[in-house]
Structure 1
Amino acid sequence: MLLDYDRLGWFKTALLGFVTLVCGFLLLPVIFIVLLSFGSSRWLAFPPPDWTLQWYRELFADPSWLQAALTSARIATMVAVFSVVIALMASFALVRGEFRGREVLRGLLLTPMVLPVVVFAVAIYAFFLKLGLGGTTVGFVIAHTVLALPFAIIPIATALEGFDKSIEDAAIVCGASPLEAKLRITLPSIKLAIFSAAIFSFLASWDEVVAAIFMASPTLQTLPVKIWGSLRQDLSPVIAAASSLLVLLTLLLMVVTALLRRRYSK
């Protein structure tokens, strides 16, 4: 039986109140840290006694913070590229392939999404020590690509499942090769899913901290690792400023993705 929400006004009000509380619970820590980044206190004190941009100036004047941010951006960009390429091949196999163990393969590819990150981090750390990849950019990219891959496979595979393959077949009948048909017909048709996969993969690497802590070295640290290390040494508002910029980039990329999806879904 379907509920008549117009008649159950109290239910709608209670549901709205519950959703508001949940959103507030999730957003308040983010708002809290942003406000602290503008506070004039030398420590993470709330409410701030006054407002200042001093901590952002110190952040941008410190080469170690800038280096950590550039390292995060470089690794996340490579992870996004590799994740999309691998996810494209895997999605074609999962959606169009006819072979035994296809669902098992799907489950294995999506395992990093449900596996506790600390378990993966310990395992990959021990494995990379044997290979000499600990504390290297290659090791970072491999570890983060494994973690980001499910976030690339899901949107691409979903888009492929909704794509009418007969259009691609028609292009082949008209003389295009199978590869040409995929490049000129299929991929442009699912470009929004590919873009979403790239953004989600980038953010999965950009925000990742647990595996990054195990993979980091004194000369190679991502921004989340730098924030974590600084928290253990000092409670300077510079940490709040760095965290705010981390959140800001994440929000900007999510907004851009949402706007593009809204534009191309019309």
Structure 2
Amino acid sequence: MLLDFDRLGAWRWGLIGVGTVVMLFLLLPIVFIAALSFGDSQWLVFPPPGWTLQWYQQLLTDPVWIDSLLTSAKVAVIVTVLSVALGLLASLGLARSTFFGKSALQAFFLTPMVLPVVVLAVALYAFFLKLGLTGTLTGFVIGHLIIALPFSIITIGNSLQSFDPALEDAAMICGAGPIEVKWRVTLPAIRLGLFAAAVFSFLISWDEVVLSIFMASPTLQTLPVLIWSTLRQDLTPVIAAASTLLVALTIVLMLLVSLLKRGTRS
């Protein structure tokens, strides 16, 4: 018995060690980028010879970087609203209906998740080029919405599966109409799924670079596209500062999801 406990302890510490190595492997590059963004060298040198905030000041005062940042935020907000709204409607239809071809329709909704992004980007670029949507805000929104919508459908759909439809029937028996039932019973019950879908949709649009490269123009580009184009020309620490802001926003939103989930459980 003692030997069994020793083996369990060894396995536990072994798993902790492997988890620590994987965590460091994933997080150390982010830490390096954040450190470089505060270095006073005009090149990406690690470790930095000194510390400064000039690269963030340059980032936040350059109109080119500000325009790309605002474009990313605008596209991400619009995509978030549309993705949650359309994902909710699609999830309700799939969860509350039984019809021929339902499985095929579900697979179709999830196709952008398994299709290589570059293939989707080339196809959309060729299609949008004929419609005159390349280099436009509409083109960005449609392209980002296509890749964000499957995540909303999955997240909201999982919340609906754990929701008891009998609550809706009870509300209708008490005199509530279909819209009132959805607004006062269904939506509050799946609010965590809606919030998670919104966060995932925002982050997918906020971080997207491959599809955005095909949609961008000299006058309209998102922050990841500007980072990529600047990286090809110059290794300025401003790139590290912009990347750190992208990562920081992602971490903040994921922490909000975690806190909301913990608060809902408690």
Task: Give the alignment's TM-score, normalised by structure 1.
Answer: 0.96
Matched residue, 1:166: 166
Mapped partners of 1:251, 1:66: distance in 2: 21
SS, match of residue 220 in structure 2: coil
Matched residue, 1:35: 35
Q: Give 1:169 deviation, angstroms.
A: 0.5
Mapped partners of 2:30, 2:5: distance in 1: 33
SS, match of residue 157 in structure 2: helix
Q: Give 1:100 deviation, angstroms.
A: 0.9
Greater mean alpha carbon deviation, residues 109-118 or residues 225-234: 109-118
Matched residue, 1:25: 25
Mapped partners of 1:237, 1:223: distance in 2: 15
| Percentage identity across paired residues of the two chains | 60
SS, match of residue 211 in structure 1: helix
AA aligned opposite 1:83: S
Mapped partners of 1:28, 1:105: distance in 2: 41
Mapped partners of 1:36, 1:61: distance in 2: 19
Mapped partners of 1:21, 1:101: distance in 2: 45
Matched residue, 1:143: 143
Deviations 1:12-36 (A, max 9, x none): 1111111111111111111110000
Matched residue, 1:239: 239
Q: Note if 1:120 corresponds to 2:120.
A: yes
Mapped partners of 2:39, 2:265: distance in 1: 42
AA aligned opposite 1:159: S
Q: Give 1:114 deviation, angstroms.
A: 1.6
Deviations 1:126-157 (A, max 9, x none): 11111111111001000000100111111110
Runs of 4+, deviation exceeding 6 Å: none
Q: Note if 1:199 corresponds to 2:199.
A: yes
Mapped partners of 1:87, 1:5: distance in 2: 48
Q: Note if 1:254 corresponds to 2:254.
A: yes
AA aligned opposite 1:253: L
AA aligned opposite 1:153: I
Q: Give 1:257 deviation, angstroms.
A: 1.1
SS, match of residue 8 in structure 1: helix
- How many residues in Structure 1 have an aligned counterpart in Structure 2? 263
Deviations 1:165-198 (A, max 9, x none): 0010111111111222111110111111111101
CA 1:8 to 1:143, structure 2 compared with 1: closer, same or farther past 3 Å?
A: same
Structure 1 residues not aligned, in runs of 5+: none
CA 1:177 to 1:8, structure 2 compared with 1: closer, same or farther past 3 Å?
A: same
Q: Note if 1:47 corresponds to 2:37.
A: no
SS, match of residue 110 in structure 2: helix
Mapped partners of 1:252, 1:151: distance in 2: 19
Matched residue, 2:185: 185
Matched residue, 1:84: 84
Q: Note if 1:60 corresponds to 2:60.
A: yes
Mapped partners of 1:6, 1:255: distance in 2: 36
Q: Give 1:216 deviation, angstroms.
A: 0.3
Mapped partners of 1:146, 1:19: distance in 2: 34
CA contact (8 A) 1:39 1:50 kept: yes
Q: Give 1:5 deviation, angstroms.
A: 7.1
Matched residue, 1:11: 11
Deviations 1:89-129 (A, max 9, x none): 11011111110111111111111112111111111111111
